[in-house]
Amino acid sequence: MKNVKLILALLFISSVFNISSAQTSSNYRKLELSNKLLSQDSKINLEDKYNKSIQSKPNEKSPYLGALFSGLIPGTGEFYAKRYLKGAIFLAVEAGLWIAYANYENQGDDQTDEYQSYANSHWDVYKYADWLKRENFSGSDGIILTSDKETLRRQINVCEAQNFSHQLPPYGAQQYYELIGKYQNFVTGWADADFDVVNRNNYGTYKTQMFNDYSYNRQEANSYYDKATTSLTLVVLNHILSAADGAWSVSMFNKDLKVKTSVHMENKYSSIGEKKMVPVANLNITF
């Protein structure tokens, strides 16, 4: 009887131990499975975060480069910012201004050649000197009508210094061509000046057709050069405006990056295999 009781006791203890071992083994397997699932989830989560971190880096551009590009060549900063229409407009304006500058500069040169050739043919220093002597201006007695035109010019300058506000500049100089068509004392050197009409008392208001035509042609040449200068000024302004717009366009390009966020709940396992609902945020950046 004692042996039977002993056997039953041993069987009971063994069954309890086996059940306990089975439960422990089951719990261990659950924990191991949970850890594997959590590890996989963590791995997937890390991969997602890595991929998203790559995608979330916006392809931003530098406003400083946009300004630099457009400052050098208007429109290129806008192209850099993918604002192609504005870039084309700034570039077209730049090309148009340079074409206008070259055109006005060439017209001014042609007009200058024309009025200088006209002056060389129709204005005579000997006639001018003769009128000074004829009207007996102070210092005119020192004027000798010599074949040396430069010596004659210096003698005329002595007389002019005593009677007029301006003196005849060296032949062919820019001031020479300007003054003979601008100041009244030089009007008497033009071929159509009539000495029977013009004298020392009325020369200040006396005009000839050649003097008027020459003055007009010279002013027209200056007008072309003024327009050329204006074109250059606008070129500089176009560079400045395009540089400012290039920086602004790049900034707008960067701001156009659209950031979309969303939050949802996902099942996650703790380190001990406990299932929990946790919020997960997704970040998508498109441009």
pLDDT digits (tens, 9 = 90+) for 63-85: 999 999 999 999 999 999 999 99
Q: Are residues 114 and 185 in the same domain?
A: yes
Q: Say whether pLDDT at 159 is over 60.
A: yes
Q: Are residues 248 and 185 in the same domain?
A: yes
Distance separating alpha carbons of residues 177 and 169, to the nearest angstrom: 9
Q: Find out whether 168 and 157 touch, Cβ atoms under 8 Å.
A: yes
Domain boundary among 168, 201, 228: 168
Domain boundary among 168, 200, 233: 168
Per-residue confidence band for 25, with pLDDT thresholds at 50, 70 and 90: very low
Record the tokens describing residue 33, joined without a space.
Answer: 């499975």
Q: Are residues 185 and 119 in the same domain?
A: yes
Q: Which amino acid is at 114?
A: E
Q: Does residue 281 form part of some domain?
A: no
Record the tokens describing residue 90, joined without a space.
Answer: 């700034």
- Mean pLDDT, rounded, for 163-191: 95
Distance separating alpha carbons of residues 9 and 278, to the nearest angstrom: 50
When divided into structural domains, the chain yields a total of 2
Tell me which residue of 225, 230, 217 sits closest to 104, measured CA to CA.
Answer: 225
pLDDT: which is higher, 15 or 103 = 103
Q: Does residue 237 form part of some domain?
A: yes
pLDDT: which is higher, 173 or 284 = 173
Per-residue confidence band for 285, with pLDDT thresholds at 50, 70 and 90: very low
Q: Say whether pLDDT at 54 is over 80.
A: no
- Mean pLDDT, rounded, for 141-161: 95
Q: Are residues 131 and 213 in the same domain?
A: no
Q: Say whether pLDDT at 17 is over 70.
A: no
Q: Are residues 69 and 163 in the same domain?
A: no
H-state helical runs in 123-208:
125-134, 149-163, 174-179
Distance separating alpha carbons of residues 262 and 37, to the nearest angstrom: 25
Per-residue confidence band for 181, with pLDDT thresholds at 50, 70 and 90: very high
The DSSP secondary-structure symbol of 172 reads: T
Per-residue confidence band for 274, with pLDDT thresholds at 50, 70 and 90: low
Angle between helices 149-163 and 125-134 (to 10 degrees): 40
The DSSP secondary-structure symbol of 73 reads: S
Q: Are residues 250 and 212 in the same domain?
A: yes
pLDDT: which is higher, 32 or 252 = 252
Q: Are residues 211 and 135 in the same domain?
A: no
Domain that holds residue 155: 125-168
- The pLDDT value given to residue 84: 94
Q: Are residues 249 and 187 in the same domain?
A: yes
Lowest mean pLDDT among 38-52, 187-201, 223-237: 38-52
Q: Does residue 223 form part of some domain?
A: yes
- The pLDDT value given to residue 256: 76
Q: Does residue 1 form part of some domain?
A: no
Q: Does residue 85 form part of some domain?
A: yes
- The pLDDT value given to residue 60: 84
Q: Are residues 193 and 143 in the same domain?
A: no
Q: Are residues 137 and 115 in the same domain?
A: no
Tell me which residue of 125, 273, 283, 285 sits closest to 191, measured CA to CA.
Answer: 125
How many other CB atoms are there within 10 angstroms of residue 138's CB atom? 12
Q: Say whether pLDDT at 10 is over 60.
A: no
Residue corresponding to tokens 């001018």: 128
Phi, psi dihedral angles at 173 (to 5 degrees): -75, 160
Rg, C-alpha atoms of the chain:
49
Q: Say whether pLDDT at 53 is over 90.
A: no
Q: Does residue 37 form part of some domain?
A: no
Q: Are residues 155 and 192 in the same domain?
A: no
Q: Say whether pLDDT at 31 is over 60.
A: no
pLDDT above 90 covers a percentage of the chain that reads: 66
- The pLDDT value given to residue 276: 63
Lowest mean pLDDT among 59-63, 89-93, 128-132, 235-239: 59-63
- Mean pLDDT, rounded, for 191-210: 94
Q: Are residues 110 and 131 in the same domain?
A: no
Q: Does residue 52 form part of some domain?
A: no
What is the 3-state composition of the chain as percent helix, strand, coil, each rounded to the nearest 5?
A: 70, 10, 25
Q: Say whether pLDDT at 58 is over 90.
A: no
SS (H, E, C) 229-270: HHHHHHHHHHHHHHHHHHHHHHHHHHHCCEEEEEEEEEEEEC
Q: Does residue 83 form part of some domain?
A: yes
Q: Say whether pLDDT at 27 is over 90.
A: no
From its phi and psi, is residue 147 left (phi > 0), alpha (psi between -120 and 50) or beta?
A: alpha
Instruction: State pTM to two decimals.
Output: 0.65
- The pLDDT value given to residue 280: 55
Residue corresponding to tokens 């506000």: 165
CA dihedral 225, 231, 233, 236 (to 10 degrees): -140
